[in-house]
Protein backbone atom coordinates (compact mmCIF):
# COMPACT_ATOMS: atom_id res chain seq x y z
CA UNK A 1 0.00 0.00 0.00
CA UNK A 2 1.18 3.50 -0.81
CA UNK A 3 0.87 5.83 2.17
CA UNK A 4 1.92 9.46 2.37
CA UNK A 5 2.15 11.71 5.42
CA UNK A 6 0.05 11.17 8.52
CA UNK A 7 -2.62 8.47 8.34
CA UNK A 8 -5.48 8.63 10.84
CA UNK A 9 -8.68 6.63 11.19
CA UNK A 10 -11.50 6.32 13.75
CA UNK A 11 -10.99 3.83 16.61
CA UNK A 12 -13.84 1.71 15.22
CA UNK A 13 -11.85 1.23 12.00
CA UNK A 14 -8.87 -0.35 13.76
CA UNK A 15 -9.22 -3.63 11.84
CA UNK A 16 -10.17 -2.08 8.51
CA UNK A 17 -8.25 -1.96 5.26
CA UNK A 18 -6.88 1.57 5.05
CA UNK A 19 -7.05 2.89 1.51
CA UNK A 20 -5.51 6.33 1.17
CA UNK A 21 -7.30 8.33 -1.52
CA UNK A 22 -6.51 11.85 -0.35
CA UNK A 23 -3.48 13.27 1.42
CA UNK A 24 -4.22 15.74 4.18
CA UNK A 25 -7.44 17.71 4.75
CA UNK A 26 -9.05 20.16 2.33
CA UNK A 27 -10.15 22.42 5.22
CA UNK A 28 -7.12 22.17 7.52
CA UNK A 29 -8.02 25.29 9.53
CA UNK A 30 -9.33 23.91 12.83
CA UNK A 31 -7.42 25.61 15.64
CA UNK A 32 -7.16 22.48 17.82
CA UNK A 33 -5.90 20.08 15.13
CA UNK A 34 -2.27 19.63 14.18
CA UNK A 35 -2.63 16.43 12.17
CA UNK A 36 -2.08 17.90 8.73
CA UNK A 37 -0.29 21.18 9.47
CA UNK A 38 2.16 21.88 6.67
CA UNK A 39 0.54 19.16 4.50
CA UNK A 40 -0.82 20.31 1.17
CA UNK A 41 -4.11 18.64 0.36
CA UNK A 42 -4.28 16.51 -2.77
CA UNK A 43 -6.20 13.64 -4.29
CA UNK A 44 -3.90 10.77 -5.17
CA UNK A 45 -3.55 9.53 -8.73
CA UNK A 46 -6.09 6.95 -9.85
CA UNK A 47 -3.40 4.44 -10.85
CA UNK A 48 -1.95 4.46 -7.33
CA UNK A 49 -5.37 4.03 -5.74
CA UNK A 50 -6.29 1.16 -8.07
CA UNK A 51 -2.91 -0.50 -7.45
CA UNK A 52 -3.55 -0.37 -3.71
CA UNK A 53 -6.95 -2.02 -4.21
CA UNK A 54 -5.19 -4.82 -6.09
CA UNK A 55 -2.68 -5.13 -3.26
CA UNK A 56 -5.55 -5.39 -0.77
CA UNK A 57 -7.10 -8.09 -2.95
CA UNK A 58 -4.02 -10.23 -2.44
CA UNK A 59 -3.10 -9.45 1.14
CA UNK A 60 -6.19 -8.31 3.09
CA UNK A 61 -8.77 -11.02 2.63
CA UNK A 62 -9.56 -11.24 6.36
CA UNK A 63 -10.76 -7.65 6.79
CA UNK A 64 -14.49 -7.11 6.31
CA UNK A 65 -14.32 -3.32 6.40
CA UNK A 66 -12.43 -0.68 4.44
CA UNK A 67 -11.78 2.91 5.45
CA UNK A 68 -10.96 5.57 2.87
CA UNK A 69 -8.33 7.99 4.20
CA UNK A 70 -7.48 10.86 4.81
CA UNK A 71 -9.16 13.85 6.43
CA UNK A 72 -12.25 14.26 4.25
CA UNK A 73 -12.43 11.83 1.36
CA UNK A 74 -16.04 12.73 0.57
CA UNK A 75 -14.63 15.92 -1.00
CA UNK A 76 -13.40 13.80 -3.94
CA UNK A 77 -15.54 14.56 -7.03
CA UNK A 78 -18.23 11.98 -7.76
CA UNK A 79 -16.72 11.07 -11.13
CA UNK A 80 -13.60 9.87 -9.31
CA UNK A 81 -15.04 8.60 -6.02
CA UNK A 82 -17.74 6.39 -7.53
CA UNK A 83 -15.30 4.36 -9.71
CA UNK A 84 -13.17 3.77 -6.60
CA UNK A 85 -16.16 2.30 -4.76
CA UNK A 86 -17.09 0.24 -7.82
CA UNK A 87 -13.54 -1.13 -7.99
CA UNK A 88 -13.67 -2.04 -4.29
CA UNK A 89 -17.00 -3.80 -4.92
CA UNK A 90 -15.55 -5.79 -7.80
CA UNK A 91 -12.12 -6.67 -6.43
CA UNK A 92 -12.90 -6.96 -2.71
CA UNK A 93 -16.36 -8.56 -2.61
CA UNK A 94 -15.85 -9.70 1.00
CA UNK A 95 -15.75 -6.10 2.22
CA UNK A 96 -19.07 -5.47 3.94
CA UNK A 97 -18.68 -1.78 4.78
CA UNK A 98 -16.79 1.21 3.44
CA UNK A 99 -16.36 4.28 5.63
CA UNK A 100 -14.75 7.71 5.36
CA UNK A 101 -14.39 11.07 7.07
CA UNK A 102 -16.71 13.80 5.82
CA UNK A 103 -16.85 17.52 6.49
CA UNK A 104 -19.70 19.91 5.81
CA UNK A 105 -18.09 21.23 2.63
CA UNK A 106 -17.84 17.77 1.11
CA UNK A 107 -21.37 16.80 2.16
CA UNK A 108 -22.86 19.99 0.72
CA UNK A 109 -21.06 19.40 -2.58
CA UNK A 110 -22.79 16.05 -3.06
CA UNK A 111 -26.39 15.93 -4.19
CA UNK A 112 -28.87 13.63 -2.46
CA UNK A 113 -28.79 11.43 -5.56
CA UNK A 114 -25.00 11.24 -5.54
CA UNK A 115 -24.92 10.24 -1.87
CA UNK A 116 -27.52 7.55 -2.52
CA UNK A 117 -25.40 6.31 -5.43
CA UNK A 118 -22.34 6.08 -3.17
CA UNK A 119 -24.43 4.19 -0.60
CA UNK A 120 -25.59 1.76 -3.27
CA UNK A 121 -21.94 0.96 -4.00
CA UNK A 122 -20.83 0.26 -0.45
CA UNK A 123 -20.41 3.56 1.42
CA UNK A 124 -22.24 2.74 4.64
CA UNK A 125 -20.82 5.10 7.26
CA UNK A 126 -19.46 8.65 7.38
CA UNK A 127 -17.63 10.20 10.33
CA UNK A 128 -18.44 13.87 10.90
CA UNK A 129 -16.28 15.95 13.23
CA UNK A 130 -18.83 18.34 14.70
CA UNK A 131 -16.86 19.23 17.87
CA UNK A 132 -19.56 21.60 19.20
CA UNK A 133 -23.13 22.69 18.63
CA UNK A 134 -22.37 26.22 19.81
CA UNK A 135 -22.04 28.63 16.91
CA UNK A 136 -19.63 30.95 18.72
CA UNK A 137 -17.36 28.03 19.58
CA UNK A 138 -17.52 26.70 16.01
CA UNK A 139 -16.49 30.11 14.70
CA UNK A 140 -13.70 30.45 17.29
CA UNK A 141 -12.14 27.10 16.33
CA UNK A 142 -12.54 27.84 12.57
CA UNK A 143 -14.60 24.72 12.03
CA UNK A 144 -16.06 25.92 8.75
CA UNK A 145 -19.76 25.44 9.46
CA UNK A 146 -22.45 26.47 11.92
CA UNK A 147 -24.81 24.35 13.98
CA UNK A 148 -27.63 24.37 11.42
CA UNK A 149 -25.19 23.30 8.72
CA UNK A 150 -24.12 20.39 10.93
CA UNK A 151 -27.75 19.34 11.43
CA UNK A 152 -28.56 19.62 7.72
CA UNK A 153 -25.47 17.65 6.69
CA UNK A 154 -26.13 14.88 9.20
CA UNK A 155 -29.72 14.54 8.06
CA UNK A 156 -28.64 14.56 4.42
CA UNK A 157 -26.32 11.62 4.98
CA UNK A 158 -28.97 9.70 6.93
CA UNK A 159 -31.57 10.32 4.23
CA UNK A 160 -29.20 8.65 1.77
CA UNK A 161 -29.00 5.58 4.01
CA UNK A 162 -25.46 6.32 5.21
CA UNK A 163 -24.87 5.84 8.92
CA UNK A 164 -23.58 8.93 10.70
CA UNK A 165 -20.94 8.92 13.44
CA UNK A 166 -20.44 12.35 15.05
CA UNK A 167 -17.45 13.43 17.12
CA UNK A 168 -17.80 16.10 19.82
CA UNK A 169 -14.93 17.62 21.77
CA UNK A 170 -15.09 18.28 25.51
CA UNK A 171 -13.22 21.38 26.65
CA UNK A 172 -12.94 23.02 23.23
CA UNK A 173 -15.04 26.03 24.26
CA UNK A 174 -12.86 26.98 27.21
CA UNK A 175 -14.35 27.89 30.58
CA UNK A 176 -16.70 30.82 29.90
CA UNK A 177 -18.79 28.97 27.29
CA UNK A 178 -18.37 25.48 28.73
CA UNK A 179 -22.01 24.87 29.64
CA UNK A 180 -23.34 26.76 26.61
CA UNK A 181 -21.17 24.51 24.44
CA UNK A 182 -22.48 21.43 26.26
CA UNK A 183 -26.17 22.35 26.04
CA UNK A 184 -25.97 23.44 22.42
CA UNK A 185 -24.09 20.28 21.50
CA UNK A 186 -26.84 18.18 23.04
CA UNK A 187 -29.44 20.21 21.15
CA UNK A 188 -27.72 19.73 17.80
CA UNK A 189 -27.12 16.02 18.36
CA UNK A 190 -30.79 15.55 19.22
CA UNK A 191 -31.86 17.39 16.06
CA UNK A 192 -29.46 15.36 13.93
CA UNK A 193 -30.19 12.01 15.61
CA UNK A 194 -26.97 10.31 14.46
CA UNK A 195 -26.31 6.59 14.71
CA UNK A 196 -23.18 7.06 16.81
CA UNK A 197 -21.71 9.82 18.96
CA UNK A 198 -18.10 9.80 20.11
CA UNK A 199 -17.08 12.29 22.80
CA UNK A 200 -13.37 13.08 23.07
CA UNK A 201 -11.62 15.30 25.61
CA UNK A 202 -9.39 18.11 24.41
CA UNK A 203 -5.64 17.53 24.54
CA UNK A 204 -3.67 20.54 23.39
CA UNK A 205 -1.20 19.87 20.59
CA UNK A 206 1.94 22.06 20.62
CA UNK A 207 2.16 24.33 17.60
CA UNK A 208 -1.58 24.58 17.01
CA UNK A 209 -3.33 27.97 17.30
CA UNK A 210 -5.36 26.78 20.29
CA UNK A 211 -2.23 25.62 22.11
CA UNK A 212 -0.59 28.96 21.32
CA UNK A 213 -3.62 30.75 22.82
CA UNK A 214 -3.30 28.62 25.94
CA UNK A 215 0.40 29.44 26.29
CA UNK A 216 -0.43 33.15 25.89
CA UNK A 217 -3.06 32.92 28.64
CA UNK A 218 -5.90 33.55 26.19
CA UNK A 219 -7.53 30.10 26.33
CA UNK A 220 -8.28 28.40 29.67
CA UNK A 221 -7.96 24.61 29.58
CA UNK A 222 -10.67 23.23 31.86
CA UNK A 223 -9.92 20.46 34.33
CA UNK A 224 -11.15 16.86 34.60
CA UNK A 225 -14.22 17.63 36.71
CA UNK A 226 -15.25 20.43 34.35
CA UNK A 227 -14.88 18.14 31.34
CA UNK A 228 -16.94 15.53 33.15
CA UNK A 229 -19.60 18.15 33.86
CA UNK A 230 -19.66 18.99 30.14
CA UNK A 231 -20.02 15.31 29.31
CA UNK A 232 -22.94 14.99 31.73
CA UNK A 233 -24.75 17.97 30.23
CA UNK A 234 -24.18 16.84 26.64
CA UNK A 235 -25.34 13.34 27.48
CA UNK A 236 -28.35 14.50 29.49
CA UNK A 237 -29.54 16.82 26.72
CA UNK A 238 -28.96 14.37 23.85
CA UNK A 239 -31.94 12.35 22.66
CA UNK A 240 -31.27 9.62 20.11
CA UNK A 241 -33.93 7.34 18.69
CA UNK A 242 -31.62 4.34 18.44
CA UNK A 243 -27.94 5.10 18.75
CA UNK A 244 -24.71 4.52 20.63
CA UNK A 245 -23.04 7.24 22.66
CA UNK A 246 -19.36 6.56 23.32
CA UNK A 247 -16.86 8.39 25.49
CA UNK A 248 -14.35 5.56 25.65
CA UNK A 249 -11.59 7.23 23.65
CA UNK A 250 -8.15 7.26 25.30
CA UNK A 251 -8.42 11.04 25.80
CA UNK A 252 -11.37 10.73 28.17
CA UNK A 253 -11.26 10.72 31.94
CA UNK A 254 -14.33 8.48 32.32
CA UNK A 255 -14.97 5.80 29.68
CA UNK A 256 -18.66 5.32 28.95
CA UNK A 257 -20.59 3.34 26.36
CA UNK A 258 -24.34 3.73 26.28
CA UNK A 259 -27.18 2.70 24.01
CA UNK A 260 -29.80 5.40 23.81
CA UNK A 261 -32.43 5.80 24.96
CA UNK A 262 -32.39 2.72 27.20
CA UNK A 263 -29.06 3.28 29.00
CA UNK A 264 -29.57 6.96 29.75
CA UNK A 265 -30.50 6.79 33.43
CA UNK A 266 -27.79 4.28 34.35
CA UNK A 267 -25.10 6.24 32.51
CA UNK A 268 -26.10 9.54 34.13
CA UNK A 269 -25.78 7.82 37.51
CA UNK A 270 -22.29 6.62 36.57
CA UNK A 271 -21.24 10.15 35.61
CA UNK A 272 -22.77 11.55 38.81
CA UNK A 273 -20.90 8.97 40.87
CA UNK A 274 -17.68 9.98 39.16
CA UNK A 275 -18.37 13.66 39.84
CA UNK A 276 -18.97 12.75 43.49
CA UNK A 277 -15.61 10.97 43.67
CA UNK A 278 -17.10 7.48 43.89
CA UNK A 279 -15.63 6.33 40.56
CA UNK A 280 -11.94 6.75 39.75
CA UNK A 281 -11.05 8.80 36.68
CA UNK A 282 -8.37 7.87 34.17
CA UNK A 283 -5.06 9.39 35.37
CA UNK A 284 -3.54 12.12 33.24
CA UNK A 285 -0.50 10.04 32.22
CA UNK A 286 -2.75 7.42 30.62
CA UNK A 287 -4.64 9.88 28.42
CA UNK A 288 -3.68 9.98 24.74
CA UNK A 289 -4.90 11.12 21.35
Can you give the CATH number for the domain in which 179 is found? 3.20.20.70
Residues whose CB falls within 8 Å of the CB of residue 280, separated by 6 or more in sequence, listed in order: none
Residue 89: per-residue pLDDT: 97
Tell me: pLDDT of 141 over 80.
yes
Residue 286: per-residue pLDDT: 79
Within-domain flag for 172: yes
Within-domain flag for 62: yes
Within-domain flag for 289: no
Tell me: pLDDT of 229 over 90.
yes
Q: What is the mean pLDDT of the chain?
A: 95
Please give the residue range of the domain that contains residue 261: 11-281
d(CA 201, CA 192): 21
pLDDT in tens, 151-175: 999 999 999 999 999 999 999 999 9
Residue 88: per-residue pLDDT: 98
d(CA 235, CA 238): 5
Counted domains in the chain: 1
CA-to-CA dists, residue 22 to 68, 74, 85, 204, 268, angstroms: 8, 10, 14, 25, 40
Judge whether 52 and 86 are in contact, CB under 8 Å. Answer: no
Residue 25: per-residue pLDDT: 92
pLDDT confidence band for 187 (50 / 70 / 90): very high
Average pLDDT of the segment spanning 161-190: 98
Tell me: pLDDT of 249 over 90.
no
pLDDT in tens, 83-126: 999 999 999 999 999 999 999 999 999 999 999 999 999 999 99
Residue 58: per-residue pLDDT: 96
Within-domain flag for 3: no
Residue 283: per-residue pLDDT: 87
pLDDT in tens, 31-77: 999 988 888 899 999 999 999 999 999 999 999 999 999 988 999 99
Residue 38: per-residue pLDDT: 80
DSSP state of 282: P
Tell me: pLDDT of 238 over 90.
yes
Judge whether 200 and 227 are in contact, CB under 8 Å. Answer: no
Give one DSSP letter per residue of 262-275, joined into a string: TTHHHHHHHHHHHH
Within-domain flag for 6: no
Within-domain flag for 68: yes
Within-domain flag for 38: yes
Within-domain flag for 151: yes
Residue 18: per-residue pLDDT: 98
> Rounded to two decimals, what is the model's pTM?
0.95
Tell me: pLDDT of 180 over 90.
yes
Tell me: pLDDT of 285 over 80.
no
Amino acid sequence: MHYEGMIIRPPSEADSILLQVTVGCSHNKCTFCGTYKGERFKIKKDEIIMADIQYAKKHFRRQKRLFICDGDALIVPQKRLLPILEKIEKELPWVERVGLYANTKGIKMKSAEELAELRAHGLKIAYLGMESGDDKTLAAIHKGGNSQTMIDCGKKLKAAGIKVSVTVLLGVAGRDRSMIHAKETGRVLSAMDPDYVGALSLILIPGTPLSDDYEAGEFPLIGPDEMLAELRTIFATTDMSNGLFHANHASNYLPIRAKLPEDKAATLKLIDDALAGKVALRPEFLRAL
